[in-house]
Amino acid sequence: MPFYPDFIQRLPEADIPFPGIRGRLLQAGDHQAVFLDIDPVGELPPHAHGAQWGVVLDGEMALCIGDETRTYRKGDAYFIPAGTVHSARFPTQVKVLDLFAEPSRYRPK
């Protein structure tokens, strides 16, 4: 049985430019939510964008926000302020729900 229920799997696929990272896009007028399914792809390089809040639904990941690195596991939430440089490492399969305070962080495929 898939992790995400059918109605989430039917959401538009997000156009994510990183191999091994897939997402389903829930679009609102001034923000968006992305249900992510991330393979153990190693590191996501440092980058910055608008504010982001997320919660780990399954698995674990290391997230570096500014100068602080922390491991996040199922049930852990995080907040990345707008413009803050951050990076991530994915040693396991991870499911994450991310909310972005910008309407076009990702576009549908």
In a domain, residue 48? The reply is no
In a domain, residue 13? The reply is no
Domain of residue 63, residue span: 21-40+56-79+93-103
In a domain, residue 63? The reply is yes
In a domain, residue 15? The reply is no
In a domain, residue 47? The reply is no
Q: Write down the residue that tokens 């390089």 correspond to.
A: 45
In a domain, residue 45? The reply is no
Q: Write down the residue that tokens 């909310």 correspond to.
A: 99
Residue 71 token pair: 């491991």
Q: What is the pLDDT along the chain (109 residues), one digit of tens a residue?
A: 689 999 999 999 999 988 999 999 999 999 999 999 999 998 999 999 999 999 999 999 999 999 999 999 999 999 999 999 999 999 999 999 999 999 989 999 9
In a domain, residue 30? The reply is yes
Q: Whole-prediction pTM value?
A: 0.94
Q: Which of 75, 86, 80 is nearest to 53 (CA)?
A: 80
Q: How many distinct structural domains can be found in the chain?
A: 1
